[in-house]
Structure 1
């Protein structure tokens, strides 16, 4: 198969032992480790925290949007893995001046993970493990599709406060919500992550609020206070499970399915956050 990334660049497979990878995308750092490529990673961001044991010895090169270019230069990578949403183009352009291969990613929906697994598995000689991940993804996707979705609802998914921010309809998070039959409320805006202000009209247009644990660290206290303020159900949800693509998306599908079951049974509400004890363990 042709190994084409999100901006149409075609990549050729590399001898795995010759790859020196810097990854600036937390969820993809985890994916590369799950593809068996941890030993090939020579740089990561400070937000690349999974799997903890594997990444502990990999040098940090800054954040997703404030990378240390000179430190990366000294690491002499052969490949850079980035994401259109998460990384700044000027940084990527500067790095591309001395890194031979830049792999650009941009998953917009859960099923885009299949191509992501195969792209990175193909480039770095991990095709067999990529297919194992694809099979696991398809099983969880089928299990999610098989359950009743109940009545559709309009959800306001909050990723930040001061200012309040949500997600647009073309984001990975909104497409995850769509798998559950939930419509993502969003203001009229061209922004992918638009700001909004609370109003009586907004509250009348939504059925429920989902407060994400990342990037803003919403807590149960935030959920309790907001529910008292607006008089609608407010739930705390695991942001990694809803927004991380890569290998964590497999567990994310299971998380979403179990959350749907709890919501349908009326067991979610207020500040009750669903966290599957089997998920998110490194």
Structure 2
């Protein structure tokens, strides 16, 4: 029986049967598909799809998230390609649509994340597995909210790049998780989702209590922490696992425990 579903950018898809051959062009969504029990259905991934670890030797690599090898994907004869509005460009999605249906996610909030997991459950006939992960995330979320309720707020800057320096701004999943942690993003109102900033203006733009230096996409080092610190009054620099703040999907279960560890260090 055909199934008709609408993805997160409003495109309606109809499938005569459950898609069996999946190409995933988003690392966090590859991890989610695996956790939903779809390992055997995944035929292609990006070079950045590092979880689970063994996929790099068992799956076909079809390029990066922004540099896709279309011919390689076509050869894999996928039934569906999984993309994301932020990770993959509109031009990439349009070219991929010539190969097969392209399902695009759009994740800004935890509610968006829940919708994605539910959709994948419907799309790939993994409803029970999807519900288990949604229930698990909701349980961990409530537990974390209880943990964080008595913690104090900290003005925060979350750095994602150096030379030039760039930070996470508003309308990002990172910002959603910062707010959940009571990390008040000093750049939330700055124009752009990942604005370029000048270090010398940091004090004027909010003077953070905490500077978070993400492990991805840029490999920050001690020298960066020292340089950034020179332009604040008292900020504490913390190197953080970028996957925990920017990966959606099933990763959130691990993220909440990771956030607890950060707060325990702070206190």
Tell me the TM-score normalised to structure 2 length. Answer: 0.90
Please, what is the CA RMSD of the aligned residues?
Answer: 2.1
Q: What's the counterpart of residue 11 of structure 2? A: 9
Q: Secondary structure at the match of 1:175?
A: helix
Kindly indicate whether the alpha-carbon contact (under 8 Å) linking 1:13 and 1:124 is maintained by their aligned counterparts in 2: no
* Segments of 4+ moved more than 6 angstroms: none
Q: What's the counterpart of residue 46 of structure 2? A: 45
Kindly indicate whether the alpha-carbon contact (under 8 Å) linking 1:14 and 1:124 is maintained by their aligned counterparts in 2: no
Kindly indicate whether the alpha-carbon contact (under 8 Å) linking 1:22 and 1:81 is maintained by their aligned counterparts in 2: yes
Kindly indicate whether the alpha-carbon contact (under 8 Å) linking 2:200 and 2:231 is maintained by their aligned counterparts in 1: no
Kindly tell me: are residues 173 and 244 of structure 1, through their superposed partners in 2, closer, same or farther at Cα, counting changes over 3 Å? same
Q: What's the counterpart of residue 206 of structure 1? A: 208
* Separation in structure 1 between the aligned mates of residue 161 and residue 217 of structure 2, nearest angstrom: 7
Deviation at residue 229 of structure 1 after TM alignment:
5.9
Kindly tell me the number of residue pairs found equivalent between the two proteins: 262
Kindly tell me: are residues 121 and 13 of structure 1, through their superposed partners in 2, closer, same or farther at Cα, counting changes over 3 Å? farther
Deviation at residue 220 of structure 1 after TM alignment:
4.4
Kindly indicate whether the alpha-carbon contact (under 8 Å) linking 1:158 and 1:167 is maintained by their aligned counterparts in 2: yes
- Which stretches in structure 1 are left out of the alignment for 5+ residues? 266-282
- Alignment partner for residue 250 of structure 2, among 244, 247, 250? 247
* Separation in structure 2 between the aligned mates of residue 132 and residue 220 of structure 1, nearest angstrom: 40
Tell me the TM-score normalised to structure 1 length. Answer: 0.86
Deviation at residue 226 of structure 1 after TM alignment:
3.7
Kindly tell me: are residues 254 and 80 of structure 1, through their superposed partners in 2, closer, same or farther at Cα, counting changes over 3 Å? same
Kindly tell me: are residues 182 and 72 of structure 1, through their superposed partners in 2, closer, same or farther at Cα, counting changes over 3 Å? same
Q: Does 1:256 align with 2:259?
A: yes
- Alignment partner for residue 233 of structure 1, among 224, 233, 236? 236
Q: Secondary structure at the match of 2:157?
A: strand
Between stretches 206-215 and 145-154, larger displacement belongs to 145-154
- Which stretches in structure 2 are left out of the alignment for 5+ residues? none
